């Protein structure tokens, strides 16, 4: 699997001798092996030109840009390598058929609830008492079957997520409070971390969808919005408990991130550069972790699980094979 490269320095990113080179402001030159790159994440202030963009395009490498507020600023995506009118038609058909759409929406939520529950039960076994939350999550999961439209399914999702988030204050170490999800911009350290983590998950899903002929803007659980890849939101929700929240808990509970890694402004709280760096490293390590896949009968990385999710959805739409959303099985 190709890798993500994260650039935190300020400087200039350019094509040089058929690969990509970063020239930092103090003149240091660093090379990035283009043949092994999946995507480049820009966290610093970087200049680049069209020559670089068309070079990345040729190699199918995405550029994800991170800025302020909720971090994700946008992507420069390579031109679509995969196009299939039939996939798009089937994708839209499924959206337009209320029964089919709510069925997919329910599956996304069922997967999310399962994965949230697996985090809660992990901490339940480690000295917390989350029995009532586990029951609530199981109840919401059961209520899913009765939902008749997407709005109702969203409502169940919101109930589950509220119950899930209520465990955060107990799991987090002293000095970190959560106190409900707030963003645009996040107002405390925990919210800031969740925003940053979620935006990394989101960008990775955007890359994964790009590997298929699926259109990232046609979604099922989230309303296909303007100006955003709402299908990436559908899929990212499945993976946030595993890829975002677990890494957050681990880093905070091991003191690898402290309140010094944040900058608090009038009504925002954002990660510092070194905080983002620490988090990105842990995040990439977790993307590289592998698990044995029962159906593929081999080890796959967490990053590849994102890709599999997009493939499964596409296969469901094209062949009608049942879509089974990602549920942590280990």
Partner 1 sequence: MVYIVVVYDMQADRTRLMLNFLRKYLTHVQNSVFEGEVTEGDLETIQNKTRETLKSDESAIIYRMSSEKYVDRMVVGEDPTDDARFL
Q: Which residues bind partner 1 (CB under 8 A)?
A: 3-9, 17-19, 22, 24, 30-36, 277, 280-281, 284
For residue 96, say whether it is annotated as part of any ligand binding site.
no
Q: Which is nearer to partner 1, 102 or 282 (CB)?
A: 282
Q: Least separation, in Å, of the C-beta of 226 and partner 1?
A: 34
Q: Least separation, in Å, of the C-beta of 212 and partner 1?
A: 21
Question: How far apart, in whole angstroms, are the C-alpha atoms of residue 202 and residue 279?
Answer: 15
Look-up of token digits 């959560």: 178
Q: Which is nearer to partner 1, 167 or 280 (CB)?
A: 280
Q: Least separation, in Å, of the C-beta of 287 and partner 1?
A: 11
Q: Which is nearer to partner 1, 44 or 180 (CB)?
A: 44
For residue 157, say whether it is annotated as part of any ligand binding site.
yes
Q: Which is nearer to partner 1, 234 or 261 (CB)?
A: 261
Q: Least separation, in Å, of the C-beta of 253 and partner 1?
A: 23
Q: Which is nearer to partner 1, 103 or 273 (CB)?
A: 273
Q: Least separation, in Å, of the C-beta of 97 and partner 1?
A: 41
**Is the peptide bond between 206 and the residue preceding it cis, with omega within 30 degrees of 0?**
no
Q: Tokens for 94?
A: 């499924």
Question: How far apart, in whole angstroms, are the C-alpha atoms of residue 162 and residue 116?
Answer: 11
| DSSP letter (8 states) at residue 60 | T
Q: Which of 201, 193, 321 shows the shortest CA–CA distance to 253?
A: 193
Q: Give the DSSP H or E segment for 62.
A: strand 62-66
Q: Which is nearer to partner 1, 134 or 308 (CB)?
A: 308
φ, ψ dihedrals at 146, nearest 5°: -90, -10
Q: How do 11-16 and 19-24 pair as beta strands?
A: antiparallel
Q: Least separation, in Å, of the C-beta of 36 and partner 1?
A: 6
For residue 18, say whether it is annotated as part of any ligand binding site.
no
Partner residues linked to 22 by β-bridges: 13, 30
Q: How do 62-66 and 46-47 pair as beta strands?
A: unpaired
Q: Tokens for 138?
A: 């199981």
Q: Which is nearer to partner 1, 280 or 325 (CB)?
A: 280
| 257 contact partners, CB below 8 Å, separation of at least 6 | 193, 251, 275, 278, 279
Q: Least separation, in Å, of the C-beta of 304 and partner 1?
A: 12
Helices (H), 211-260: 230-239, 246-253
Question: How far apart, in whole angstroms, are the C-alpha atoms of residue 140 and residue 113?
Answer: 8
Helices (H), 125-188: 131-144, 150-165, 168-171
Partner residues linked to 171 by β-bridges: none
Could you list the residues known to form a binding site for Mn(2+), using ranges. Answer: 157, 222, 237
């Amino acid at each position: 699997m190709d890798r993500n490269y994260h650039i935190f320095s300020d400087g200039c990113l350019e094509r040089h001798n058929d690969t990509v080179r970063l020239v930092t402001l103090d003149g240091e030159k660093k090379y990035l092996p283009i043949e092994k790159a999946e995507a480049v994440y820009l966290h610093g202030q970087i200049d680049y030109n069209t020559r670089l963009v068309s070079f990345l395009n040729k190699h199918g490498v995405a550029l994800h840009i991170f800025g302020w507020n909720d971090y994700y600023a946008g992507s420069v995506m390579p031109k679509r390598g995969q196009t299939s009118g039939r996939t798009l038609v089937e994708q839209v058909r499924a959206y337009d058929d209320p029964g089919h759409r709510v069925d997919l929406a329910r599956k996304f939520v069922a997967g999310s609830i399962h994965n949230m529950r697996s985090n809660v039960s992990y901490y339940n076994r480690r000295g917390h008492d989350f029995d009532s939350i586990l029951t609530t999550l199981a109840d919401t999961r059961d209520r899913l079957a009765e939902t008749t439209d997407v709005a109702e399914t969203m409502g169940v999702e919101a109930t589950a997520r509220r119950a899930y988030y209520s465990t955060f204050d107990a799991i987090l170490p002293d000095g970190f409070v959560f106190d409900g999800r707030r963003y645009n911009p996040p107002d405390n350290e925990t919210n800031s971390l969740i925003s940053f983590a979620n935006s990394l998950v989101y960008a990775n899903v955007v890359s994964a969808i790009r590997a298929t002929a699926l259109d990232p803007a046609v979604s099922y659980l989230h309303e296909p919005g303007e100006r955003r890849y709402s299908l990436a939101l559908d899929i990212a929700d499945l993976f946030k408990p595993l890829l975002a929240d677990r890494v957050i808990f681990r880093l905070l509970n091991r003191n690898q991130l402290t309140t010094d890694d944040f900058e608090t402004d009038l009504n925002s709280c954002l990660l510092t550069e070194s905080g983002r760096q620490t988090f990105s490293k842990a995040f990439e390590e977790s993307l590289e972790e592998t698990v044995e896949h029962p159906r593929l009968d081999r080890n796959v990385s967490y990053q590849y699980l994102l890709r599999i999710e997009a493939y499964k959805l596409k296969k469901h739409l094209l062949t009608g094979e049942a879509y089974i959303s990602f549920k942590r099985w280990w």
